[in-house]
Amino acid sequence: DGGITQSPKYLFRKEGQNVTLSCEQNLNHDAMYWYRQDPGQGLRLIYYSQIVNDFQKGDIAEGYSVSREKKESFPLTVTSAQKNPTAFYLCASSSSGTAYGYTFGSGTRLTVV
Amino acid sequence: GIQVEQSPPDLILQEGANSTLRCNFSDSVNNLQWFHQNPWGQLINLFYIPSGTKQNGRLSATTVATERYSLLYISSSQTTDSGVYFCAVAAFSGGYNKLIFGAGTRLAVHP
């Protein structure tokens, strides 16, 4: 079945460490997105990519980095510059960057210890 | 930018009850979608509804774009309806359609 796979489901990070969250899709979607969800809040856009080797900053990109070397993969690195990284991270994809037909992964819960 | 407000923020129901969730948005939008996030975090699209009314089983949604609001109706609620319901609107910005989410309505259905 087509879908989006995020890994790991739970991740613990020590202060000062960089960590990378994986997002893989087999839907043949062109566009991929990373969102951050904090308790009691909606989803906020971190980065998005409409095609391979191209990506753009979203609303809260500071302290994060991404790459898009393959159509299927859009990993997110949470760097040590992100001062408050504890959150739930969701990856999504859509066809041709439209706002219709978003498919979401099951998320990664990152905790700083 | 566009603001999306959802109400109520929290809702507790007995199984079998009906409910209405509301989404107000501050400007004209390309489309509007309703999502359900289950207790494990998975988000599922319920409706793509830029205007008009749609129904899917016990759920239905109505969007009145000219008055900038949308309603999600849940009838005969079940415990599996629990979770967070998000409204998201699309706005064209920076060359692509960006989804802007409201803060959500947290629904708990008790048996």
B42 to chain A: which residues are within 8 Å by CB? 104, 106-107
Predicted confidence band of residue A96 (pLDDT cuts 50, 70, 90): low
Band of residue B94 on the pLDDT scale cut at 50, 70, 90: low
Instruction: Supply the pLDDT for residue B56.
Output: 95
Q: Which of residues 5-34 of B touch A (CB under 8 A)?
A: 9, 30-31, 33
Q: What is the pLDDT of residues A2-40, one digit of tens each?
A: 799 999 999 998 888 999 999 999 999 999 999 999 988
Contact indicator for B53, B60 with CB cutoff of 8 Å: yes
Which residues in A lie closer than 8 A to residue B31 (C-beta atoms)?
99-100
Q: In this structure, is the dihedral angle defined by the CA atoms of residues B39, B42, B47 and B50, taken in order, positive or negative?
A: positive
Residue A92 and residue A37: Cα distance in Å, rounded? Answer: 13
Question: How do residues B46-85 score in pLDDT, each as one tens digit?
Answer: 999 989 999 999 999 999 999 999 999 999 999 999 999 9
What pLDDT band is residue A97 in, cutting at 50, 70 and 90?
low
Nearest to B48 among A41, A43, A100 (CB): A100
| Mean pLDDT computed over every residue of chain B | 92
User: What are the tens digits of pLDDT across the range A46-68?
Assistant: 999 989 999 999 989 999 999 99
Q: Which of B30, B41, B102 sits opposite A107 (nearest CB)?
A: B41
Please report the pLDDT score of residue B92 as a whole number. 75
Tokens representing residue B3 in the block: 């603001």
Cα–Cα distances (Å) from B8 to A3, A38, A111, B22, B85, in that order, read: 32, 18, 29, 7, 11
Distance between CA atoms of residues A21 and B26, nearest Å: 34
Q: Which of B9, B45, B97 sits opposite A98 (nearest CB)?
A: B97
∠ CA A33-B67-B102, nearest 5°, is: 30
Asked if pLDDT for residue B37 goes beyond 90, the answer is: yes
φ, ψ at B38 (rounded to 5°): -75, 170
Q: What CA–CA distances, in Å, run from B71 to A108, B5, B28?
A: 30, 12, 16
The whole-chain average pLDDT of chain A stands at 92
Query: In percent, how much of chain A has pLDDT > 90?
Result: 72
Best residue in B7, B98, B105, B106 for a mutation probing chain A (most A CBs within 10 Å): B98
Assigned token pair, A43: 């989803």
* Partners of residue A109 in chain B, C-beta under 8 Å: 41
